[in-house]
Amino acid sequence: MRQIFLTILLFVATAGYSFAQQPRFEGKAPQAVVAGDKFQLVYTLNDEGSDIRLPALQDFQILMGPSTSYSQSTSIVNGKVTRETTYSFTFILKALKEGSFTIPPASIMVDDKKVSSNAVKLQVVKGNAQSVQGRNQTGTTSTATGVSDKDVFIEVIPSKRNVYKGESLTLTTKLYSRVSIQGSSGEKNPDLSSFIQQKLEVPGMGRFSSKENIDGYLYDVAVIDVKLLFPQKSGKITIEPFELELGIRKRVARRSQSIFDDFFDSNYRVVKQKVKSKPITLTVKPHPTNRPAGFSGGVGKLDMQVNVTKHEAKVNDGITLKVSISGTGNHKFVEEPIIKFPADFDDFDAKISNNITNTASGMKGTKTFEYLLIPRHAGTFTIPSVKFSYFDPGAGSYISKNSSPVTIHVEKGESGDEMSGTVVRSNVTRENVKFIGKDIRHIKTGQTVLKPIGTFLFGSLKFSLALLVPFFLFILIYLLNRKRLADNANMVMVRTKKANKVAKKRLKKSAHFLKTGEKEAFYEEVLKALYGYLSDKLSLPLSELSKDNAKEILMESKVSEELVQAFMDVLDTCEFARYAPASGSGEMDKLYQKTIETISKLENQVKRQS
C-alpha cells in the first residue's frame, strides 16, 4: 500500500513539474540592420534542448553559430523559491541586401519533442560610406574629423500640424545618434504657454531603445519627452527649438606612441556639443461661430449621461443627481452644465470628480458632476432636460446631447412638511445642509427699544464724557507717577521706609539659625538686624553705631525710656550670649520674640515722631 501511494505521489509531482516547465523557445534580432553588416540572431529556451535547426536563409549568410550559453536565476516570492535556467543559442548573420524580411521559425528538440520558435522580423537598410569608417561601443558610427548634424540630432515631432482650438495633439521629442553619447546637460524646453500640457510616460523613455533608417543611415533612437497638448488660442503658433548639450565620445587623430594605445582606448575623449531641433509651426483653427446652447469648451468625441439615485422620495430626503461626461477629448476642462432645478428643491454646489487617463489620442475617462437635492414640499416635480454640446474636430462641427427630463415624486414625511429624516448621500459631506423648519423664521424676539429719528451718539453727553474721562485719567496717572519718581529720588526717605522690611528679612535668617540650633550665628544675625534697623531708620552710617552711642541716639529721637531700655537689654543679651556657655533653645526663642516686639514698637514711635 505504501509503495502504491509513493508511486502516485511521484506521478503527480512529475506531472505538475512538467506542466510548470512548458518549453518556451523564442527568437530575437535587431529591428533594423545595415546591408553588409553583421548582426546577432539569438534564440532562448527555458529548458535543456538539442538539435537546433534554422530555416533556409536565402537573403542572409550564416557566419558563425550556434554558440551556446546558459544562465540561472533564483527568485523568492512569499517564501516560495523559484529557479529558472535559460539556454541561449547565438548565430552571427550577415545581411546580403536591403528590404523587409521575416525569418521563419526555428526548431529544437526538447525531451524528444519538437518545439518551434516565433518568426523574427527585421529591416535591412542601405549602407553608406561613413558607416565603414569606424564603430563605437554601441554600434553607431563616427568620423575621424568631428561630429556633424547627420551623426546626432534632435527632432520634435507633432502628431498633427493642423488642429482646432482645444483639440489634443502629442509632441514627441526624439534624439537620433550614430555616435557614442556619454551624458547630457543644459536641457532647454520650448515655451508652451499657449497650450495646456500633460506629460505622458512611454516605455523606454530616456534610453536608446529602437533603431530607425533615415536617408540610408541607421540611427539609435531615444524618446526624450512626450507631451499631450491642448491649444488655447487660434492662429499660427510657433514652437521654439528644444536644446540639449551632449557629451560625445570622439576619436582623437594622433600618432600612436605605443602598441597598447588602442588596447587601452587612449585615442578617445569626450567632447561637448549642443544640438537643437528645428522650430515647428502649428495652425490652430477657431471653432465655428454658431455655438449651440450647452457648449462649455468640450472638444473630442464625448458623450453625456444623467442619472438620479431615486425617482420617489419623501420630504427632506436626500437625492443625488449625477451628470457624467465620458469619451476621448478634453473633458477634464469642460465646465459645469447649467441645470434648472425646481424651486421646491434645495440644491447644493456640484461635487466634481475626474476619473481620467492621459493617452496619445487625448484624455480618456469620465468627468462627473454630482448634485445633492433636498425636496421641501410634497408633489411631483420635473427636472428639465440637461443640454450638453461639444465640438467634434473630425466632423468639424458641433454635436449636441440632450438628456431626458427627470421626474421625481415626493411624498409627505412622517410629520408633514417638517424635516422627518436624515439626509443621506453617498460620498457627500453634510456641512452645507441646514435645517429649515419653516418658510419664515424670526430674526429677533423679545422687547424692541426704538429711538427717535435723528438721534446720534456723536455730540451727545455720552460722547463728551467718553472723550473727557480718558483725559482726566491721564492727568491723574501723570501726577501719581511724578510723586513716585520724587519719592524714589530721596534716598534717605526710601531707606527709612524700607528699614522695617530689611530688619524683618534679617530676622528671618536668624529664625533659620534658631531652628538649626546654630547659637553663634543666631545672635550675630539678631545684632545685625538691630544695628541695621537703626542705621536705615535714622539715616546713620553703620560704622558710627555702637552699643555706647545707640542709647543716646534713641533718646535724641524721643523714643521712650522704657523702649530704649528694652532695646539695650536685647543688645546686652546678644553680646553676652555669643561668648557665654551654650544656652537653651527656649532662651533663644524668647530673645527672638522680644527682638521682633522691640523693632515693631520702635517702628511705631519713630513713624509717629516723623
CATH code for position 535: 1.20.120
pLDDT at residue 323 in the model:
93
pLDDT at residue 231 in the model:
92
pLDDT at residue 407 in the model:
92
CA 219 → CA 152, 333, 430, distances in Å?
9, 39, 61
Q: Residue 271 domain-assigned?
A: yes
Pair (525, 588) in one structural domain: yes
Pair (159, 264) in one structural domain: yes
Domain boundary among 125, 160, 177: 125
pLDDT at residue 129 in the model:
46
pLDDT at residue 499 in the model:
57
pLDDT at residue 140 in the model:
39
What is the per-residue pLDDT across 220-249, written as a single tens digit (0 to 9) for each?
888 989 999 999 989 999 999 998 888 887
For residues 395 and 299, give the distance between their C-alpha atoms in angstroms, rounded to a whole number: 11
Pair (325, 380) in one structural domain: yes
* Domain, as residue range, for 34: 20-125
Listed as ranges, residues in the chain with pLDDT below 50 are 12-19, 129-145, 259, 263, 418-438, 491-495, 608
Contact of 424 with 314, CB cutoff 8 Å: no
What is the per-residue pLDDT across 168-226, written as a single tens digit (0 to 9) for each?
999 999 998 888 887 788 788 888 889 988 888 888 888 888 888 787 778 888 898 99
Nearest to 498 by CA among 512, 508, 488: 488
Number of structural domains in the chain = 4
pLDDT at residue 501 in the model:
65
Pair (164, 110) in one structural domain: no
For residues 322 and 368, give the distance between their C-alpha atoms in angstroms, rounded to a whole number: 7
Q: Residue 486 domain-assigned?
A: no
For residues 332 and 357, give the distance between their C-alpha atoms in angstroms, rounded to a whole number: 10
Domain boundary among 284, 312, 345: 284
For residues 304 and 401, give the distance between their C-alpha atoms in angstroms, rounded to a whole number: 7
Q: Residue 447 domain-assigned?
A: no
What is the per-residue pLDDT across 8-48, written as a single tens digit (0 to 9) for each?
555 544 444 444 567 888 888 887 887 777 888 888 888 87
Determine the 3-state secondary structure of 307 from DSSP.
Answer: strand
DSSP secondary structure, 319-365, as one string = EEEEEEEEEEESGGGPPPPP----TTEEE-PPEEEEEEEEETTEEEE
Pair (264, 311) in one structural domain: no
